A and B are shown apart, each in its own frame.
Chain A
């Protein structure tokens, strides 16, 4: 790393480490599970989410208020990272955060496709990437899916969107994911920290593909259907492995995973009968989070501590949402706990 690049990394990594320290500690989640919904909402109102809750309290109530405050805070936290970083680290963060552009584009397209009102569409967007909230607002105001696609013609995602020929959105949604990962993998440089970042992304692709395989195989989808939605570029699951796994049945798939490093994280929740996909996905998310935490200490002045924070923040928001929604639906504490990523 060049002499003059070091301060840029020192600044952003110190800030994200200070921010990570403010996240809700692991041992608070069991306490939250013992609380009732109003107490949980009060707890969140008094935490780092206070400002978001206060500003949205005029528009929303109870669980909806919580949901929107969490989304807004997540978006603001990620945007802040883009604003306070410079140089190569900023470039990598911007590229990484494009996943939220993809999320938002999918949300707006789906909303428009099914005729949802503008306000409802905007309730589910998270303005954390290159598309700012006013951009998303103007997109949601457009009349049709085609008009939205045309409005995005200066964005990188247009090379996928232009192929939309009407009908279901699945194909372009899968292609948007593939485009996102291919661009991100190309953006990564050769420094030791970025090489580890690459390894993390390849692991993330593996885990996404594994989740997709589990879901589709549980639904009994054949090999051809699975192949189309697989994202290329994984670490352990290469193209030929995935094609082989896609041809197996659910129980054969479980037995074939024994040799992969992800197996140890899911072995205790996988069985031929009655395997809960939610539990598997929770375990895989925890694996990814722990992997990010572990590598964040290898190269302290790199993108890795930023990545670690980004992942932990997302998981905190997801966990709070799971607890609040679980309590609202009167699910048992055990069920809620099984869904938390810790």
Chain B
């Protein structure tokens, strides 16, 4: 009756349990990564880096293709719903549209979207439009069919760091370096609301400079909340001494719901990624100033993260795969690492991780 077999059989390897998160694969690039996005079909992970290229890995085979065209670092990436199109935004202000099936990729479209950096690109829920933002203080909406500008929103006084569509498709949220958030009405073309999130910026008295802004923006799938990842409590920004933070906002009221910070006061750096999990917890990806990182797992109703996973290299971006079990993290050491939020099969616990280059 009491054998070992039944115990193993009781382990549900598909049960989501963030406390059991473990690395299952890694994909190597030679240069520090800057961002990551996984396509909605879970076929590809794409990463920008501290070079001019985009690396696209086939998550099944590990094969890598390099997408060359940008003349600056790629800061943000998104995919079409079918994963066949990839959209990349670079510090040079350019948005490129790519066919992910091409063996020798060249851009299908190049949009000179912003004067100065294009910091964020996101596809609309209906797949017809792109939203971008940048250092020209503008938020723009582009028609994907012809690459033409559809709408332009002005009102941010400083560089705009992040933008995303509300899942309802009728609004945009954008945030600038000073933490200022604007909600834009895509139907009327007007400004709907301003929200003060100055908790997410800091002025360094010693160096007389501002630091802040959204480093990642993400909506809950039902549109009831959004989260912004960034920094707070700047002490010495030039040395990277500030608190990483994720702030949750309520869509209806526009009010801040919660501030999520590290459980460890010694962790100083930047929150570079945030995702809502359907099981009602939040995932954050952190770069500590030491060069190491953290993954935070946080339930909205709880004060502190219920689990923190230490990372050997700083996180520069985060995405949640559509199976809701795997996370993709871009690291400062040039690796994309896949983590699985389930128990690890006993047979795999001592085996080496899958590595691809």
A binds B: no
Residues of B at under 8 Å CB distance from A?
none
Residues of A at under 8 Å CB distance from B?
none
